[in-house]
């Protein structure tokens, strides 16, 4: 039995509804659907590109696929720098439980103070923050096993330098972004870096990849870079330099070994140095590549250049008599002294005894322009054309402004400045039959044609004088080595302080070549501020030259040109400075 609705019992139901109201409601519903349809059409058709972009901004990411940085190799293929797999730790701060019991353990594993880690994670607005870059795989694995929510791992690469301190100033290092900061890592950064690839993906809020949008573009790894450096010679030169600096309680030192035929730099070492694998608390003293960036007055090592100039100009011969009496020379209100009164010397004797007075009298036979032209041809006062950052030009003033006293002091290495690298390169003109060779840090397979500065006869005569200077009666007797004939010149220069010279601060130099008849290498050594009682270049720098030459020539396979027997080395003659 059905019950009928009693409309008369309810005033609301009994009232008549206006027809327009139902039509209005239907119209509103129709307009709403029409608006939704229009909006959908706008989103899907008219504004499709805009909304696609907005969606991609929020979810789509272009991931860079890093290229593996090229290795740095020595001339024999030994690795000087390479990239190894590592892990970087990152976090989503808002997801990390700051009270998690393992958070302090994460900090300790990463070498971070727990308070510093919490401070790094304190910004709740951040969705990404680096916790520690380039962590060893073993450490990263321990961090992952702690299971702290919001802390994640990302594959990375870490640069390693097997030769450590020995090759630090050559190779340099990269930062955490694998960008070169020093040395050849900086100079050849673009070449070593290669070309990164890319991958377009959609990620969720946790950074997890959900799907690829398009095919990945693979990275192109950087090519290997082969240097001219011989890592064995480099290591030995570094060791002997360090011993000399420490033994003589010196401030610093440098050594450069260059191949006479190719201009290749076989070794370039400085001390103090640093370990590029552990660069905490580095100082400017450690980072300075002194052989290239520091300039000094070269002292007596410039005398063979002065003599070679005069020989080439025809003003003297090796046997020309030079009267150095009474062991001092006064001009322009200044007095220049020799350590002894050597009396009458030949030109060869001037170099052998390192006479300042003799050098001045030889220089006076030339014009300022002639000397300046030769300095310039040898590379003094000009930035070395070498693939390396920070090389400096030194200073040689324009010849028109020279006073007579300045021309005189330049003849024995004062009044101009040069780096150790420039000095070594200039000596290649004496070693290479008059041609100064262009220097390079990259391995070269062919002999180079340098720029002629002296004739072969002048170069040969100069080498004989250098042999005498390193032999009995000379200032560089401690440069003698077993099995190989050597020649070279020591130098001891007072350090400039303000407008004058210090009375107790010196730089000790020795630059020479071997074997002397047909030189294969030129080696330069500088020790800054030796303070253990001896400071002459013949006593401080020459022994480093001797040991470096012997080891380098043996490694290079150069046959000894002298009978291999212990040599008696006399006490070197004190050099003038």
CB atoms closer than 10 angstroms to residue 518: 15
Average pLDDT of 306-312?
97
Q: Is 4 noted as a catalytic residue in this protein?
A: no
Q: Residue 352 class from Cβ within 10 Å (0-12 exposed, 13-18 middle, 19+ buried)?
A: buried
**Tokens of residue 286, six digits:** 């450690």
Residue 172 pLDDT > 70: yes
- pLDDT per residue as tens digits for the range 256-288: 999 999 999 999 999 999 999 988 888 888 899
Residue 1 pLDDT > 60: no
| Matching residue, tokens 């001896």 | 534
Residue 237 pLDDT > 70: yes
User: Which of 6-20, 71-85, 110-124, 233-247 has the least mean pLDDT?
Assistant: 6-20
Work out the pLDDT band at 89, boundaries 50, 70, 90.
confident
Q: Residue 276 class from Cβ within 10 Å (0-12 exposed, 13-18 middle, 19+ buried)?
A: buried
Listed in sequence order, the residues at least 6 apart from 504 whose beta carbon sits closer than 8 Å to its beta carbon are: none
The percentage of the chain sitting over the pLDDT mark of 70, rounded to a whole number, equals 88
Work out the pLDDT band at 8, boundaries 50, 70, 90.
low
- pLDDT per residue as tens digits for the range 130-162: 888 888 888 888 888 888 888 888 888 889 999
Contact predicate 304/541, CB 8 Å: no
Please identify, in words, the CATH class of the domain defined by 231-278+285-556.
alpha beta
The pLDDT value recorded for residue 204 is 62
Does residue 326 have a cis peptide bond before it, meaning omega lies within 30 degrees of 0? yes
Considering only residues 169 and 46, tell me which one the structure prediction assigns the higher pLDDT: 169
Work out the pLDDT band at 387, boundaries 50, 70, 90.
confident
Domains 64-196+203-226 and 231-278+285-556 share a fold: no
User: Which of 71-85, 343-357, 560-574 has the least mean pLDDT?
Assistant: 560-574
Q: Are strands 500-514 and 487-497 parallel, antiparallel or unpaired?
A: antiparallel
List beta partners, residue 442.
Answer: 227
Listed in sequence order, the residues at least 6 apart from 114 whose beta carbon sits closer than 8 Å to its beta carbon are: 103, 104, 107, 108
- pLDDT per residue as tens digits for the range 11-64: 655 666 677 777 788 888 888 888 888 778 877 777 777 766 666 555 666 666
The pLDDT value recorded for residue 195 is 84
Q: Are strands 72-73 and 225-226 parallel, antiparallel or unpaired?
A: parallel
pTM: 0.83
CA torsion angle 236 242 248 252 (round to 10): 130
Residue 206 pLDDT > 70: no
Q: What is the CA radius of gyration of the chain?
A: 37
- pLDDT per residue as tens digits for the range 420-460: 999 999 999 999 999 999 999 999 877 788 999 999 999 99
**Alpha carbon distances (Å) from 60 to 50, 203, 551:** 14, 6, 60
List beta partners, residue 436.
Answer: 451
Nearest to 157 by CA among 145, 174, 143: 174
Hey, what CATH topology would domain 64-196+203-226 get? Answer: Penicillin-binding protein 2a (Domain 2) (3.90.1310)
Considering only residues 26 and 167, tell me which one the structure prediction assigns the higher pLDDT: 167
- Exposure string of 191-205, with b = 16+ CB inside 10 Å and e = fewer, is ebbbeeeebebbeee
Residue 538 pLDDT > 50: yes
Work out the pLDDT band at 389, boundaries 50, 70, 90.
confident
Most confident of 26-30, 391-395, 499-503: 391-395
Residue 340 pLDDT > 80: yes
Q: Which of 83, 254, 300, 576 is the catalytic position?
A: 300
The pLDDT value recorded for residue 442 is 95
The pLDDT value recorded for residue 521 is 97
Q: Residue 376 class from Cβ within 10 Å (0-12 exposed, 13-18 middle, 19+ buried)?
A: middle
The pLDDT value recorded for residue 568 is 47
Residue 220 pLDDT > 60: yes
**Tokens of residue 206, six digits:** 């946790």
CB atoms closer than 10 angstroms to residue 497: 10
Round the average pLDDT of the chain to a whole number and report it: 87
Residue 567 pLDDT > 80: no
The pLDDT value recorded for residue 419 is 95
Q: What is the residue-wise DSSP string for 65-76?
A: EPPPPPPEE-TT
Domain coordinates of the chain in residue numbers? 64-196+203-226, 231-278+285-556
Considering only residues 109 and 56, tell me which one the structure prediction assigns the higher pLDDT: 109
């Amino acid at each position: 039995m059905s019950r009928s609705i009693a409309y008369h019992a309810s005033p609301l139901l009994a009232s008549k509804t206006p027809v327009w109201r139902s039509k209005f409601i239907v119209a509103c519903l129709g307009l709403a659907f029409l608006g939704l349809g229009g909006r959908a059409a706008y989103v899907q058709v008219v504004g499709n590109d805009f909304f696609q972009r907005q969606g991609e901004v929020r979810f789509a990411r272009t991931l860079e696929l890093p290229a593996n940085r090229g290795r740095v190799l020595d001339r024999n293929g030994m690795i000087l720098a390479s990239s190894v797999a590592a892990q970087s730790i990152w976090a989503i701060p808002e997801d990390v439980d700051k009270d998690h019991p393992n958070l302090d353990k994460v900090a300790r594993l990463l070498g971070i103070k727990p308070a510093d880690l919490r401070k790094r994670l304190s910004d709740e607005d951040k969705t990404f923050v680096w916790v520690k870059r380039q962590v060893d795989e073993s450490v990263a694995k321990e961090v992952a096993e702690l299971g702290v929510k919001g802390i994640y791992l990302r594959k990375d690469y870490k640069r390693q330098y097997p030769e450590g301190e020995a090759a630090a100033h050559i190779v340099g290092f990269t930062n955490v972004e694998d960008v070169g900061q020093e040395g050849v890592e900086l100079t050849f950064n673009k070449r070593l870096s290669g070309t990164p690839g890319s991958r377009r993906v959609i990620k969720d809020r946790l950074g997890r990849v959900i799907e690829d949008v398009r095919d990945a573009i693979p990275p192109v790894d950087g090519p290997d870079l082969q240097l001219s450096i011989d890592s064995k010679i480099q290591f030995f030169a570094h060791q002997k330099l360090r011993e000399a600096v420490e033994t003589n309680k010196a401030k610093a030192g440098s050594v450069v070994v260059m191949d006479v035929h190719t201009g290749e730099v076989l070794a370039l070492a400085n001390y103090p140095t640093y370990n590029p694998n552990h660069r905490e608390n580095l100082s400017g003293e450690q980072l300075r590549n002194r052989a290239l960036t520091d300039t000094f007055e070269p002292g007596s090592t410039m005398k063979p250049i002065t003599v070679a100039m005069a020989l080439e100009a025809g003003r003297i011969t090796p046997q020309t008599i030079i009267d150095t009496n009474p062991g001092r020379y006064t001009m322009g209100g200044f007095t220049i002294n020799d350590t002894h009164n050597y009396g009458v010397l030949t030109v060869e004797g001037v170099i052998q005894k390192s006479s300042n007075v003799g050098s001045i009298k030889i220089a006076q036979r030339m014009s300022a322009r002639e000397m300046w032209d030769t300095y310039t041809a040898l590379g003094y006062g000009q930035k070395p054309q070498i693939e390396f950052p920070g090389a400096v030009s030194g200073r040689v003033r324009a010849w028109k402004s020279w006073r007579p006293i300045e021309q005189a002091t330049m003849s024995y290495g004062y009044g101009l400045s040069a780096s150790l690298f420039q000095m070594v390169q200039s000596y290649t003109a004496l070693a290479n039959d008059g041609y100064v060779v262009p220097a390079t840090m990259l391995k070269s397979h062919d002999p180079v044609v340098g720029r002629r500065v002296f004739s072969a006869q002048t170069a040969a005569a100069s080498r004989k004088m250098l042999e005498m200077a390193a032999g009995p009666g000379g200032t560089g007797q401690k440069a003698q080595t077993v099995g190989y004939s050597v020649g070279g010149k020591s130098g001891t220069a007072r350090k400039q302080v303000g407008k004058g010279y210090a009375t107790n601060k010196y730089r000790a130099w020795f630059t020479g070549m071997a074997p002397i008849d047909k030189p294969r290498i030129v080696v330069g050594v500088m020790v800054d501020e030796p303070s253990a009682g001896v400071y002459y270049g013949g006593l401080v720098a020459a022994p480093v030259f001797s040991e470096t030459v012997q080891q380098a020539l043996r490694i290079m396979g150069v046959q000894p040109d002298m009978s291999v027997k212990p040599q008696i080395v006399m006490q070197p003659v004190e050099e003038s400075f």
